[in-house]
């Protein structure tokens, strides 16, 4: 099974949460075929916004959402 990862980010209401304040302006960085390349993209995006405490980027494990019953390897 292909293990897709989505990197996205946006402004959050509280830097300790993942409650995005403006869903219309979410930054969809991209979809990546493995965690290593997703992490590279995540680090790059996070570095660009390091001075904005309310901006947060995350890696979403799409393969877990697409097939939740498939055991992790």
**Closest alpha carbon to 8 in 71, 22, 67, 16:** 22
Residue 49 has pLDDT above 70, yes or no: yes
Residue 72 has pLDDT above 90, yes or no: no
Residue 41 has pLDDT above 60, yes or no: yes
% of the chain with per-residue pLDDT over 70: 95
Q: What is the mean pLDDT of the chain?
A: 91
Quick: pLDDT tens for 11-29. 999 988 899 999 999 999 9
| DSSP summary character for residue 12 | B
Q: Which domains does the chain have, with CATH numbers?
A: 5-63 (3.30.70.2400)
């Amino acid at each position: 099974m292909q293990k897709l990862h989505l990197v996205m980010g946006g402004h959050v209401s509280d830097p300790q949460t993942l409650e995005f304040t403006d869903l219309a302006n979410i930054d969809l960085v991209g979809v990546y075929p493995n965690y290593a390349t997703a992490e590279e993209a995540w680090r790059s995006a996070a570095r660009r916004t390091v001075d904005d405490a309310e901006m947060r980027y995350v890696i979403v494990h799409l393969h877990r959402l697409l097939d939740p019953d498939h055991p992790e390897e």
